[in-house]
Amino acid sequence: KIMSKRGRGSETTLLNLEALENAVPWEELGADVVDPLRRALDTARRERPATERAKAADAAREATFEALEDEERAEAACAAYSAASILFADATLAGGDCGGGDEAVDSEAAALRACDLAMLRGGVAEWATITEPVVRAASAGAASEARRLAVRAAVPRSEPEPVCEHMGGLSAGIERVDARGLSVADFSRRYLESGTPVILTHAIGSWPARTCRPWSCEYLRALAGERLVPVEG
């Protein structure tokens, strides 16, 4: 619905620009970062064409690179980078030039990537609310396809729960308990507090990942195939 209100090249922004501006620690940044970011914000406020807004936002992102390498300015620069990336995502989704062949697909993927980079750099808690309108709009097509796949592959709730074989002989002698009849209080008293090992059965049979939204490579690819996911090792 959001996408349908914005044609290719739309000047309308999905963002709360005031919230975005307030999230940037301007006083901690130098003119080399502040000026390009102010220009990018100004193009969004004046509802300039999407391609112009995308170029201004991309220039603001590039202006943060040197500051990101400076230990004393890195934290503030991360916020500036996040703000510029979100402005870029919004403009790109509206039809700003992001390169590539299939414009509709590329713009959605580029917008999601820019939002993910903004949150990876600046923090999910700090930027998720601001990015949400763009993420929702860019993900609309993927979410619809994922729902179609989920309906097609839904697993009946009565299907037997699979038995995990990964523990091998390590599970020998460990009590197996049906989780459906075990309260949190009983679990804490009987096993958690004493450190007694237990294997819980029938604990995930009602999870959406196994019923109404069964996970598969096809489903996950449709739902989040364009998203960036941090991996810690």
Cα–Cα nearest to 163, from 193, 191, 223, 205: 205
Please say if the pLDDT value at position 154 is more than 70: no
Residue 178: Cβ-neighbour burial (10 angstroms; 0-12, 13-18, 19+): exposed
Q: Which amino acid is at 118?
A: A
Percentages of the chain per state (helix, strand, coil), in multiples of 5: 60, 5, 40
102-150 pLDDT per residue, tens:
444 478 888 999 999 999 999 999 999 999 999 999 888 666 665 666 5
- Is this model's pTM higher than 0.85 or not? no
Whole-angstrom distance, CA of residue 3 vs CA of residue 156? 34
Which residues are CB-contacts of 30 (< 8 A; sequence separation ≥ 6)? 67, 73
- The single residue listed with the structure tokens 């996040």 is 82
pLDDT beyond 50 at 1: no
The set of long-range contacts for 36-39, using a CB threshold of 8 Å and a minimum separation of 24, is 36/60, 36/62, 36/63, 36/84, 37/63, 37/80, 37/83, 37/84
| pLDDT digits 0-9 by tens, 128-138 | 999 999 999 98
